[in-house]
Structure 1
Amino acid sequence: MAEKEINYDQKVVAAAPELKPEQRIHNEQKPKPQQEEKKASKLFPNSPLFQNWGENLSEENQKEAEALFEKYGYNVFLSDSLPLNRVLPDTREPKCVGKKYPKDLPSIAVVLIYLNEALSIIKRAIRSIIDRTPEHLLREIILVDDNSSNDDLKEDLDIYLKSIEAQNPWLRMVRVKHSESLGLAQARVSGFKAASADVVAILDAHIEVHNVWAEPLLTRIKEDRTVVVSPVFDSINYYDLDVVKYPPSAHAFDWALWCMYESFRPEWYKLNDTSLPGKSPSVMGILVADRKFLGEIGGLDGGMKVYGGENVELGVRVWLCGGSIEIIPCSKIAHIERNHKPYMRDLSMSMKRNALRAAEIWMDEYKDMVYYAWNIPLKDDVSERKKLREKLNCKPFKWYLDNVYPQLVTWENLVAYGGMKNLDANMCIDQGPVPGHIPIAYGCHYYGPQHTYYHSTGELYIGGIKSHKYNDNRCLADSGEDSVPDLYNCKEAVQKGMGILWSFTQGKEIKNRKTGRCLEMKEGTLVIQTCTGQTWEIQNIIRSF
């Protein structure tokens, strides 16, 4: 979900965090890939698919596997050889294993959303749901096809679904097909509208449910119909389809409304019981809710487009309009983390639009934070959803910040934001390669690496601004020791004795208050030197300074 990539002359290498041995869980029943006695050449040594999988695979199979990987973003070659009812490891918290649940629980509809998903992946999702959900609870499986073009998702899938219906006459199978691709957000709306069970679970199609996944969710909703719940997602590696255990975490977001994992509130940890539900500011998109309650608070927002932000909008709305959100550690679903999204690799435009829509409807005076985070505001007609908010008598967003998500930091003291351009050289300040502590001058493109924020107290944050109180921003700094500008976490820069406070007026110099030197351009490079009168301009002024 990254913003548009910027290619610098320097090579940037991002290191992924290593997994602890106990986090990796291998499916021992997985058959070995077809191998040849003679060791085959490695045809795609730089492909992410073959970094940790496919050793000794024949050249013919390597070609097929790589082509399928490019098309789908995960290992379809391997998926096609795995049993549809493969055994998943039990990754639940220890205290979950012995828990008992009532027999008399609400019925559930499971919605699977897909666009050109691999057929074997969809089959395995369906098989896992049928095999691991009690028959008396599972009323229907709803498949929402967002106008797929793959041939095997037509007749071949029809044949499979008819066989499922023949084997399980008690189960209602529903297919919803879009005549044009409307995006994930709209597909979820279609799935929700097609459901008739007491509870609706909206899932991706590239998942496998664990044993006893539904009972903990349904039990909690039976206790309180206003609680929207989510299972804990384990990750399925895109390359070898092994399952990686993920611990329970809250579903959170930043001011750009990108979703993220975060720790629960401190009171959850004080209970010393990881099987207990944890309060969450939002949902990741996979959610389970009482169908009538969700309908009463406006269902899913049909004004959201394509993908991104709709989950945060729903999370905020649930909290403000009489409900709450919880993560249920005893419910586990394994979810494939794609290497890439083949159908839309750059989600930033739809995400930006959806984020600003959510901000306009729900965030009151704090909507400005979302505009600052995205830099370029967009307009949208949200009058209908604002009327819904008034009708439901929902709480103000300040209540949400105070009571649900106090970790979010508000930026009332910002005075300007956007790209910072040197008017003499017609180039912008850029954070440059990360990791690194030297900002650079670069042609102005105004994407994330050039997002600059000027604080009323004089700090200049380069490369974005942090949304949470537990994070630190990266401040432009002058060490006073050389002509190279520095870019460090603000607290670290202060500890090093650097000057992080700058005097700046639109169209004039940027001068360090501690050293008296200016940030300037020299032969295409950013330098700190004796002021020569070079001038700067920032894109957006919030208030005069």
Structure 2
Amino acid sequence: MQSEKNHSVPTLFESGLQNQSQGIKAAEQPPAKREPEQKGKPEAEIQEQKEAPKEKKSKKVFPHSPLFDNWGENLTEEEQREAEVLFQKYGYNVFVSDRLPLDRALPDTRDPRCLEKSYPKDLPTIGVVLIYLDEALSVIKRALRSIIDRTPKNLLKEIILVDDNSSNEDLKEDLDIYVKMLEQQNPDLRIARVRHDVQKGLATARVSGWKAATADVVAILDAHIEVHEMWAEPLLTQIKADRTTVVSPVFDVVSYNNLVVIPYYALAQAFDWNLWCMYEDFSPEYHSLQDSSLPGKSPSVMGIMVAERKFLGEIGLLDEGMEVYGGENVELGIRVWTCGGSVEVVPCSKIAHIARLHKPYQLDLDAAMRRNALRVAEVWMDEYKHNVNLAWSLPFENHGIDIGDVSERKKLRERLNCKPFKWYLENVYPKLDPWDDLLGYGGMKNLDADMCLDQGQQPGHTPIAFKCHIFGPQHSYYRANGELYVGGIKSHKYSDNRCITVISKNETKPGLFNCKEAIQKGMGIYWDFTQGKELKNRETKRCLEIKDKTLLVQECSGQRWEIQNLIKAF
């Protein structure tokens, strides 16, 4: 997940975290040894044993590994090597997971008002789908254990395990043995297994789980989770009230390096124009209610979702044309909202989710994410689809990326009579900047000096002229209001872009500052520009030029600039 906003972790639950942390540290310790029998030994010998020097701590074998940032001080060198190998394989601390109880207690991180709520007796049944690919066996076992122990038996109809072609041997026979034991212990619970012969990606794996489900409501979860007490009832209550609502719990984070649970507040689940998921605040209307235990409307889902099974089928499940990872959650959120449903985050439902440092099945997700994002844009975003190209720095046409056949998804949109994406931006996600006033983007090149505008050293406020390479530091964006950004553009209206500025009337060096800050300080941030001509500051009437390879603001001499890609004629 990526986010343009950082949210602090609540301090309300620090004591619970300390207890959890102590439990982890205890798991690191080898079993306590009994003191040798002292009877019959000379007193001097006994005293000598007591004064013997303590064993020194092992040296850090992997001093730069994030696994050992705040964990593992008491491990031997052999144990450190074992833990690091497992960490590289899974992206989280399997060494600790294998030593934790499968039914470990989780701190209750809910809003206290959640404890006062009651829920209907006649709630719909739920089927839980767990998706995995080469997950650690102990993690899957703990997920199963928590679901069975913390979901009322009259509500939990089934658990469906979807294996997207794992290669780990222990996820075959060993997991089968554990599942069989659970079935014997819970004769009324259906546990189904779905195994893919080839890796099909998250979207198709989730659809496979849905197809195998029979319960009224389906909860599609990752396998590296543990559910909290009373996780299901709040979700089922919302769906019982409105079958077209797709709901999500709040995810407490399980730290990848020590598996300690970190409480998270309820936040809306959103995205940027790259279609990377992120958190942001609920609407002002929600906050005006002053009750953070209430469900809040959300533009999208993070990927973990709960919906009425039949409704999810009616609106088209998930796009099986997606590959590997990413984008399918945003596509679902847009589709639900524009095709007659809604998305909510339910604060009184909590699930603890391991935040992996890396996804072992594909270390670089950018290629798959970029392709999937373009696919979503082509089907759902109408005249705004090119914003995805902008975000990924791709040309509007002939970008060379095969997004697959989208004809069936377009037919689905037409059949469901869905609203246009403009409606979604205006009514569901007004915080997303539509970028509808952008005139040009790409490298901003001085034709006379044969150099490009560059953001310069970061952090810093001094843009420079540099040889054109058109990578990130030279990504420029020119808006109809005259603002010129260098080094990137933000996806949301609440974010502040970095504007090329004239710092003061007599200053010859241009600046690069957050636009709102620059306005407050009286800097000139607006530029008049015509493709192939001068770049003139509106306030000072001086031009941005390059002299002796140095970027300056000076009296206009007729130097010509050209932005790489035109969006609209200007």
Do the two structures share a fold, i.e. TM-score over 0.5?
A: yes
Choose which of 295, 298, 315 in structure 2 pairs with 1:297. 315
Q: For 1:93, which of 111, 117, 123 is the aligned residue?
A: 111
- Taking structure 1 as reference, are residues 272 and 497 closer, same or farther at Cα in structure 2, changes over 3 Å only? closer
2:29 matched to 1:34? yes
Q: Secondary structure at the match of 1:44?
A: coil
Alpha-carbon offset, residue 137 of structure 1: 1.3
Q: Is the 8 A contact 1:416 1:541 kept in 2?
A: yes
Deviation at 1:218, TM superposition (A): 0.9
Equivalent position of 2:499 in the other structure: 475
The offset of 1:468, in angstroms, is 2.0
Is the Cα–Cα contact under 8 Å of residues 27 and 100 in structure 2 kept in the other structure? no
Aligned positions of 1:152-301 closer than 5 A? 152-301=170-319
Find the aligned partners of 1:375 and 1:147 in 2 and give their Cα distance.
Answer: 33
> How many residue pairs align between the two structures?
534
Residues 291/241 of structure 1: CA separation in 2 closer, same or farther (3 Å cut): same
Q: Determine the C-alpha separation between the residues in 2 that align with 1:112 and 1:458.
A: 50
Distance 1:18 1:287 in 2: 24
- CA positional deviation for 1:423: 5.2
For 2:250 and 2:7, locate their aligned partners in 1 and report how far apart those are by CA, in whole Å. Answer: 20
Residue aligning to 1:438: 462
1:22/1:493 CA distance change after superposition, 3 Å: same
User: TM-score w.r.t. structure 1 length?
Assistant: 0.91
Residue 22 of structure 1 aligns to a residue whose secondary structure is coil
Is contact 2:10–2:265 with CA below 8 Å preserved after alignment? Answer: no
Corresponding position: 1:520 with 2:515: no
Asked if 1:360 is matched to 2:378, the reply is: yes
- Per the alignment, do residues 40 and 500 of structure 1 end up closer, same or farther by CA in structure 2, a change over 3 Å counting? same
Q: Given the two structures, how large is their TM-score scaled by the length of structure 2?
A: 0.87
Q: After superposing the two structures, state which structure 1 stretch, 328-337 or 494-503, moved more.
A: 494-503
The equivalent residue for 1:22 is 12
Does the CA contact (< 8 Å) of 2:9 and 2:265 recur in 1? no
Is the contact between residue 477 and residue 488 of structure 1 (CA under 8 Å) also seen in structure 2? Answer: yes
Q: In the superposition, relative to structure 1, how do residues 15 and 94 fare at CA in structure 2: closer, same or farther (>3 Å)?
A: closer
Q: Judging changes above 3 Å, is the alpha-carbon distance between structure 1 residues 424 and 223 closer, same or farther for their aligned structure 2 residues?
A: same
Displacement of 1:279 after TM fit?
Answer: 0.9
Deviates more, 1:247-256 or 1:497-506: 497-506
- The alpha carbon displacement at 1:144 in A equals 1.5
Determine which of 531, 538, 543 is the counterpart of 2:563. 538
Moved more, 32-41 or 132-141: 32-41
CA contact (8 A) 2:247 2:344 kept: yes
Secondary structure of the equivalent of 2:12?
helix
- Structure 2 Cα separation of the partners of residues 89 and 352 of structure 1: 38
1:335 aligns with 2:353: yes
Out of 358, 377, 382, the residue aligned to residue 406 of structure 2 is 382
Change (3 A) 1:180 1:434: farther
Moved more, 328-337 or 22-31: 22-31
Paired residues of 2:27 and 2:99 also in contact (CA < 8 A): no
5+ residue gaps in structure 2?
31-53
Note the alpha carbon deviations across 1:140-197, whole angstroms, 9 max, x for none: 2111212222222222222222222222222222222222222222222222222121
**Matched position secondary structure for 1:52:** coil
Alpha-carbon offset, residue 430 of structure 1:
4.0
- Of residues 492, 497, 519 in structure 1, which corresponds to 2:522? 497
Change in CA separation of 1:426 and 1:212 when aligned onto 2, cut-off 3 Å: farther
Provide closer, same or farther for how the CA distance between residues 233 and 20 of structure 1 changes in structure 2, counting only shifts above 3 A. closer
Is residue 2:79 matched to residue 1:55? no
Give the C-alpha shift of residue 116 in structure 1: 1.4
On the 8 A contact 1:475/1:489 being kept in 2, the answer is yes
Task: Provide the rounded CA distance (Å) in 1 between the counterparts of 2:485 and 2:203.
Answer: 33
More deviation in 18-27 or 468-477?
Answer: 18-27
- How high is the sequence identity, in percent, across the aligned residues? 67
Q: Following superposition of structure 1 onto structure 2, how do residues 142-161 of structure 1 map, counting pairs within 5 Å?
A: 142-161=160-179
Q: CA 1:465–1:47 in structure 2 vs 1: closer, same or farther (change >3 Å)?
A: same
Q: Residue 465 of structure 1 aligns with which residue? A: 489
Shift of 1:17: 7.5
Alignment of 1:302-313 (within 5 A): 302-313=320-331
- 1:9 is matched with none
**Residues 539 and 321 (structure 1), Cα distance of their counterparts in 2 relative to 1, 3 Å cut:** same
Partner of 2:430: 406
Offset of 1:222 from its aligned partner?
1.1
- Give the match for residue 6 of structure 1: none
Tell me how far 1:237 sits from its aligned partner.
0.8
Aligned partners of 1:187, 1:228: CA distance in 2, in Å?
Answer: 19
Q: Distance in 1 between matches of 2:2 and 2:451?
A: 24
Give the superposition deviation at 1:312.
1.0
Provide the residue aligned with 1:128 in structure 2: 146
Distance 1:17 1:158, change over 3 A: same
How far apart are the structure 1 equivalents of 2:150 and 2:465?
56
Read off the aligned partner of 2:316 and give its amino acid letter: G
Partner residue, 1:455: 479
* TM-superposed deviation, 1:22: 3.3
CA deviation string 1:353-396 (max 9, x = no partner): 22222222222222233332223145643222121112111122
> For the aligned residues, what is the CA RMSD?
2.6
Find the structure with the greater CA-based Rg: 2
Q: Which moved more, 1:394-403 or 1:260-269?
A: 394-403
Match of 1:105 among 115, 123, 130: 123
CA 1:112–1:449 in 2, change beyond 3 Å: closer, same or farther?
A: farther
User: CA separation in 1, counterparts of 2:249 and 2:5?
Assistant: 28
In 2, Cα distance between equivalents of 1:51 and 1:501: 46
Partner letter of residue 116 of structure 2? G
Report deviation, 1:507.
4.1
Tell me, in whole angstroms, the C-alpha distance in 2 between the residues paired with 1:348 and 1:425.
34
CA apart distance, 1:486: 2.0
Cα distance, 1:529 vs. partner?
5.5
Deviation of the 1:421 alpha carbon:
4.0
> Retained in 2: the 8 A contact 1:29–1:87?
no
Q: Is the 8 A contact 1:306 1:350 kept in 2?
A: yes
Say yes or no: does 1:69 pair with 2:87.
yes
Q: 1:445 to 1:114 in 2, by over 3 A?
A: farther
* Separation in structure 1 between the aligned mates of residue 169 and residue 464 of structure 2, nearest angstrom: 49
Which residue type is aligned with residue 338 of structure 1? R
Question: Given the superposition, is the C-alpha separation of residues 418 and 198 from structure 1 closer, same or farther in structure 2, using an over 3 Å criterion?
Answer: same
